[in-house]
Amino acid sequence: MAIHWLKSRFNAEVVTVTVNVGQEDDFSEIENRAYKLGVLKHYTIDARDDFANGPIASAIMLNALYEDKYPLGTALARPLIAEKVIEVARREGCDAIAHGSTSKGNDQVRFEEAIKAMAPDLTVIAPARIWGMDRKTEVEYARRNNIPIPEVHSRFSIDDNLWTRSIEGPELDDSMVEPPEDAFKWTINPSKVNESLKLEIEFKNGVPVAVNGEKMKLSELILALNRLVGSHGYGRVDHVENRVVGFKSREVYEAPAALTLIEAHRDLEKLIYTPIEYRFKRLMDQTWTDLIYQGLWHEPLRIELEEAAKAMNKWVTGVVKVTVRGGLMITGRSSPYASYSKEIADYVKGWYPSDEEARGFISMWTLHSLTAYRVRWGSGVS
């Protein structure tokens, strides 16, 4: 419909672009519909490996879970989609870029931030913000102008890619309503899982490279885990999210691979990093994640945090054992760079400080706190 509207409103010659970041769409049908609506040219761009090896790899290294829940699937994809669209716009000599976001969503910020950064000379047009039509009016407009409307097989609005499947719909807007089972596609109901799935995930420099000894490129590894882990009932997210545009929204996602890989990666970091590194890294992770969600891909700190994360992740190499059955449990981990020492930690044969060493350590360790405590409340306060 936006194609017809752009041609009518601006007398525009329209070039359309579909960027494949792993969504389950019929790309041939999309192209055919575009040409039937009179576009000058249509591009379908396969960016799945770019998506996996770029934004997703960074999200794994930085344990990206917005508000401890959302693995950022849509937010990660938008800047890459904008980049690919800009490349086509330059090739075709376009003077404007149009996107389909409304004024109520986060994606308008993500798309337009990227366009302003990479192509500030191009005009941005957001038809759905301008025309002010609701869904009913849009359908009437389409019928009035003989625009074919794709057959809808679900009452839910779905946005999916390699990393997450986002589920929206009117019945989910009530934060107390349990999502119906037909909303889910990647995951089965945890109550129906009868046996456990055991996995060994191998990481190299912070990025997963193999599952159960089988080496795979990252995009294939993610697809494999979405299928395996989702079939064992793990990977659903249901939470209330603080949007960029000023209100809370109830969001439902499926992300079996994302949740598994982030949990495994974070566990491996804990094995390897010093306590100071680990706690500082958590601050980095949260800051980077907030920047991505908020549509600030070209904020310099995002780039700087990624460089720091790559430097820290050069030690994050090893294997994590995972058991999945409705939930996920880490059951083992190893790394050539582990700071963990069985010889020290062993309670039977391990290292023990002498009584004198222990007393000295306790005295020095508690001195700051106890001095302040006594000055403020005296030794008689419990």
Write down the pLDDT at residue 266: 98
DSSP annotation of 66 reads: B
Per the annotation, does 157 bind a ligand?
yes
Helices 107-118 and 73-92: crossing angle in degrees, nearest 10, is 40
Write down the pLDDT at residue 377: 92
pLDDT in tens, 25-45: 999 999 999 999 999 999 999
Joined together, the tokens standing for residue 379 give 């030794």
pLDDT exceeds cutoff 80 at 152:
no
Write down the pLDDT at residue 296: 98
Per the annotation, does 194 bind a ligand?
no
Residue linked to tokens 């792993």: 22
Write down the pLDDT at residue 150: 67
Per the annotation, does 102 bind a ligand?
yes
Smallest CA-to-CA distance from 308 within 332, 343, 284 is with 284
pLDDT exceeds cutoff 90 at 140:
no
Write down the pLDDT at residue 149: 74
Per the annotation, does 241 bind a ligand?
yes
Write down the pLDDT at residue 135: 75
Instruction: Please indicate whether residue 123 or residue 153 has the higher confidence score (pLDDT).
Output: 123
Specify the pTM.
0.94
Residue linked to tokens 């294997």: 319
- What ranges do the domains of the chain cover? 2-155, 158-334, 352-377
pLDDT in tens, 198-243: 999 999 999 999 999 999 999 999 999 999 999 999 999 999 999 9
Q: Beta-carbon neighbour count of residue 90 at 10 Å?
A: 12
- Size of the chain, expressed as the number of residues it contains: 382
pLDDT in tens, 309-365: 999 999 999 999 999 999 999 999 999 999 999 888 888 887 889 999 999 999 999
For 327, the enclosing helix (H) or strand (E) is: strand 327-334
Q: Between the CA of residue 30 and those of 85, 92, 150, 190, 250, what are the distances in Å?
A: 16, 20, 10, 35, 30
Joined together, the tokens standing for residue 127 give 């038809």
Determine the topology of domain 2-155 in CATH: Rossmann fold (3.40.50)
Write down the pLDDT at residue 146: 83
pLDDT in tens, 89-131: 999 999 999 999 988 889 999 999 999 999 999 999 999 899 8
| 3-class SS of residue 228 | helix
Smallest CA-to-CA distance from 318 within 196, 203, 194 is with 203
- Given pLDDT bands bounded at 50, 70 and 90, which one contains residue 142? confident
Helices 275-293 and 300-313: crossing angle in degrees, nearest 10, is 140
302-310: long-range pairs with CB below 8 Å, 24+: 305/62, 306/58, 306/61, 306/62, 308/284, 309/58, 309/61, 309/62, 309/206, 309/281, 309/284, 310/61, 310/205, 310/206
Residues in contact with 373: Cβ distance below 8 Å, sequence separation at least 6, in sequence order: 381
pLDDT exceeds cutoff 80 at 151:
no
Strands 96-98 and 327-334 turn out to be unpaired
Share of the chain above pLDDT 70, in %: 98
Share of the chain above pLDDT 90, in %: 86
| 3-class SS of residue 226 | helix
Strands 236-242 and 318-325 turn out to be unpaired
Write down the pLDDT at residue 382: 59
Q: What's CA 160's distance to the chain center, in Å? A: 11
**Rounded Cα–Cα distance for residues 32 and 11 (Å):** 21
The torsion angle over the Cα atoms of residues 37, 42, 46 and 47, rounded to 10 degrees, is: -90
Per the annotation, does 100 bind a ligand?
yes
Handedness of CA 81, 82, 83, 88 (dihedral sign): positive
pLDDT exceeds cutoff 70 at 56:
yes
Per the annotation, does 70 bind a ligand?
yes
Determine the topology of domain 158-334 in CATH: Argininosuccinate synthetase, chain A, domain 2 (3.90.1260)
Per the annotation, does 230 bind a ligand?
no
- Given pLDDT bands bounded at 50, 70 and 90, which one contains residue 145? confident
pLDDT exceeds cutoff 70 at 366:
yes
Per the annotation, does 166 bind a ligand?
yes
Write down the pLDDT at residue 302: 98
Cα-Cα end-to-end distance for the chain: 71
Write down the pLDDT at residue 250: 96
CA count, 13 A, side-chain hemisphere, 196: 11
**Rounded Cα–Cα distance for residues 180 and 194 (Å):** 21
Write down the pLDDT at residue 381: 62
Over residues 84-88, mean pLDDT: 98
Mean pLDDT of all residues belonging to the chain: 95
**Rounded Cα–Cα distance for residues 16 and 31 (Å):** 9
